Structure 1
């Protein structure tokens, strides 16, 4: 969970702040606690709920007053004028505890939170909090959406004593009212952003993870060209935008020179959202003779040709991840995936034969999935496992503000409002118990067919 490489968002914020003449320091407590906390198993994917569920989090070592207070002291030793936190679902409980501890040690500290869970909450149910985890109660301001421009504008307003209501893209408390100033304007020309600054991160922590060499994140684009109904990437990063190939190549060269890094992971929702850009970047890597390796996520659609995969391999692509989700075309259509399941196997085969490691993700029990649909997924795995090196299987998580959540009645979902994990379908054809059974069956099928020798080459 965020251990393999430094986070890209805070690195972009750091470089943007420095460009604006604002000194900053970065604390990656996720990495520090993993390295020094003595409980690495808590970072295994199956333990995600321990961090996300407030009651479970309260019982682990890293929620203790001693640990949290120590982290707060580290932050305050810097004597910052403002403290920013990048908050995701897995880190929300820790961030809230840290904010409380900082306020306890310095009650006039100004705390700004940003990240995916910072958004104006559209209440689907009256019982919902005003914001996810009610994080607005623990921060002075929330930055909604892209932070590079908004964060700096807010800091300028705070420094000059201006009314923050003039800054688009923030939320703050005014008396009993929670104020949202409206959506900020997306950064359309991504080439104008300074390259992310990783020099402020504990780089050696990432070298000490499972890989032997440093891997740095990089991006071609922001947003997604698709509108899957269970996902929120399109909403969070609307509209889809991309960089120039020159900007990407210049950043790769800079990272090689500054950090000695020759391995990269593209953090895009999909690297083939603009196939011409992907092709151009590969051509430039080849032309410049950059000896690098890289990975990324792609859609298994018509933009992926054998010729493009050959070019990607020659340019250093060693791993591709495909979000296939289901072996049933009906389910894929309901998900609005816009991929043809009959054409997916040849893409996996092409990549595998070229020596590109193939990862796939599968989502069990979309609301419209029937037993027959599920059997098609199992059959797909049986037929194509020889082309796949990595499987990621998960139960459907109903993301807040996704189309599935907003239109839950259309999908005949009966929510369990205390915990979305326990939603069911009106006729009980899809319940938590059904989902767990199908998850077990698919995992058993994967284990039965999976050849580990293909990983240990």
Structure 2
């Protein structure tokens, strides 16, 4: 029995402009590990990392004819995954998973295929095994002929209650560890599931996911995985923690210090704009000393009005003060910004740009780097804004999310630019100009002061 796991493609054709980091699909890797440990034949096709066009992927599946095909799905590639499923002409069984399936399962039920489709919302490791072995111990929450929808949350026996119990076989990934374009080798780990915050543009928002547990691995478990990485991949210099939010409270900051201080890895992760609000400078220095060389922080906007609307911190001075703590400790920051939120004005956008400029100047003052990653707002399935827009009369299914060729041409790279319309109060030309100018605050020097392993002259 053969199962193919698919990290689903983002684009229909091979796109030379796409130069984003292709991160290994750890979630699929965990599923594959469980299947392999139970004696099942399983392979993983990473259509993103290998830049596999949709037609080529479909041809491969029609040649291999696996008994089961399990794929992730996102708002941005819904149409591609749908076409993939409807283009498979042999008898198989599809399993579709991802955060967006909370809302998308009804649409997936309507896909034009005679093959059965199971939609899984939540943890996929344990339930995928029982689907394939035909040993399901739990009924679907929704069903139709040839279609089932399973919600693996707190009440499900298939939720992974203790993350320490899961193991990851890294041999599934074609890009793990990653030879980073900036000149170092990096491995990726996940240490938690779920988010404590409530951003209205995010499908992981706590208010919409109370049926799913927030879980963290123990320090001992994380250290054990780092030991394996150090042993199996001696050239790895950096660890990237791919949690939705690794550093979220003072507790998790101290936990990170305790975990990484026993290793000589540099490491990077997500943090919240409020993570360091009450963190003393001495702790920030310990964080730096533990190997923290860059943090990814969702700033999103410099407009108090917009920040309030998306449930983010509205006090700009507080945002600046919190990020300055990291700069002062010698930690670089990658700041995420979004332009084009519903009802956003040019004045709001100008505030965002000016905040980015201010943070860039403060970082330079402390000899570290602040780089920007900038996106046009797009409504994701399963988010509060998506629901709000629908209640206001928007039919978001009429115009699917698609690559923004105009913006991609303007910035000279794809940079994960997708859109399905402009929801702001400004013309698209103005919106694109702010995105372009904020991206161009980057000067090519991504990291600074990283010590002996990651020298600045590498970049």
- Range class of TM-score, shorter chain: 0.7 to 0.9
Paired residues, what number? 398
Q: Distance in 2 between matches of 1:130 and 1:414?
A: 17
| Correspondence for 1:334 | 309
SS of structure 1 residue aligned to 2:43: coil
| CA separation of 1:30 and 1:313: change in aligned 2, threshold 3 A | same
Q: Distance in 2 between matches of 1:275 and 1:6?
A: 29
Shift of 1:239: 3.1
| Correspondence for 1:437 | 430
Q: Distance in 2 between matches of 1:383 and 1:207?
A: 32
User: Could you tell me which of 255, 262, 266 is aligned with 2:229?
Assistant: 255
| Correspondence for 2:399 | 419
| Correspondence for 2:43 | 25
| Correspondence for 1:284 | 259
Q: Does 1:5 align with 2:23?
A: yes
User: Could you tell me which of 165, 187, 209 is aligned with 1:193?
Assistant: 165
| Correspondence for 1:295 | 268
| Correspondence for 2:187 | 216
User: Could you tell me which of 386, 393, 397 is aligned with 1:405?
Assistant: 386
| CA separation of 1:171 and 1:254: change in aligned 2, threshold 3 A | farther
| Correspondence for 2:406 | none
| Correspondence for 1:153 | 130
1:252-298 C-alpha deviation (Å, 9 max, x unpaired): 11122223334211111111234313312322322x2x111111111
Stretch moving more, 22-31 or 226-235: 22-31
Q: Distance in 2 between matches of 1:98 and 1:409?
A: 27
Stretch moving more, 231-240 or 355-364: 231-240
Q: Does 1:242 align with 2:213?
A: no
Q: Does 1:111 align with 2:94?
A: yes
Indicate conservation of the 8 Å contact 2:120/2:152, yes or no.
no
1:203-230 C-alpha deviation (Å, 9 max, x unpaired): 47x6456254442221221111111111
Indicate conservation of the 8 Å contact 2:96/2:119, yes or no.
yes
Indicate conservation of the 8 Å contact 2:92/2:116, yes or no.
no
Indicate conservation of the 8 Å contact 2:245/2:270, yes or no.
yes
Stretches of structure 2 lacking an aligned partner (at least 5 in a row):
1-18, 364-368, 401-418, 448-455
Shift of 1:314: 1.1
Indicate conservation of the 8 Å contact 1:142/1:170, yes or no.
no
| Correspondence for 2:149 | 180
SS of structure 1 residue aligned to 2:258: helix
| Correspondence for 1:39 | none
| CA separation of 1:363 and 1:291: change in aligned 2, threshold 3 A | same
Q: Distance in 1 between matches of 2:79 and 2:335?
A: 30
Shift of 1:378: 2.4
1:178-235 C-alpha deviation (Å, 9 max, x unpaired): 543555437363334322111132347x645625444222122111111111111134
SS of structure 2 residue aligned to 1:295: strand
| CA separation of 1:453 and 1:151: change in aligned 2, threshold 3 A | closer
SS of structure 1 residue aligned to 2:122: coil
Stretch moving more, 264-273 or 14-23: 14-23
Task: Select the structure with the greater relative contact order (CA < 8 A; seq sep ≥ 6).
Answer: 2
Indicate conservation of the 8 Å contact 1:245/1:277, yes or no.
no
Q: Distance in 2 between matches of 1:30 and 1:130?
A: 24
Shift of 1:409: 6.7
Indicate conservation of the 8 Å contact 2:399/2:420, yes or no.
yes
| Correspondence for 1:54 | none
1:225-253 C-alpha deviation (Å, 9 max, x unpaired): 11111111134683322121111111111
Q: Distance in 1 between matches of 2:85 and 2:295?
A: 38
Indicate conservation of the 8 Å contact 2:22/2:49, yes or no.
no
Deviating beyond 6 angstroms after TM superposition, the runs of 4 or more aligned structure 1 residues are: 135-138
Which structure has the highest strand share of the two?
Answer: 2
| CA separation of 1:189 and 1:2: change in aligned 2, threshold 3 A | farther
| Correspondence for 2:12 | none
SS of structure 1 residue aligned to 2:28: helix
Q: Distance in 2 between matches of 1:99 and 1:111?
A: 8
SS of structure 1 residue aligned to 2:268: strand
Note the aligned Cα RMSD (angstroms): 3.3
SS of structure 2 residue aligned to 1:6: coil
SS of structure 2 residue aligned to 1:30: coil
Q: Distance in 2 between matches of 1:132 and 1:443?
A: 39
Shift of 1:118: 3.0
SS of structure 2 residue aligned to 1:407: helix
| CA separation of 1:383 and 1:372: change in aligned 2, threshold 3 A | same
| CA separation of 1:357 and 1:70: change in aligned 2, threshold 3 A | same
Stretches of structure 1 lacking an aligned partner (at least 5 in a row):
35-61, 123-128
Which structure has the highest helix share of the two?
Answer: 1
Indicate conservation of the 8 Å contact 2:120/2:149, yes or no.
no
Q: Distance in 2 between matches of 1:150 and 1:404?
A: 30
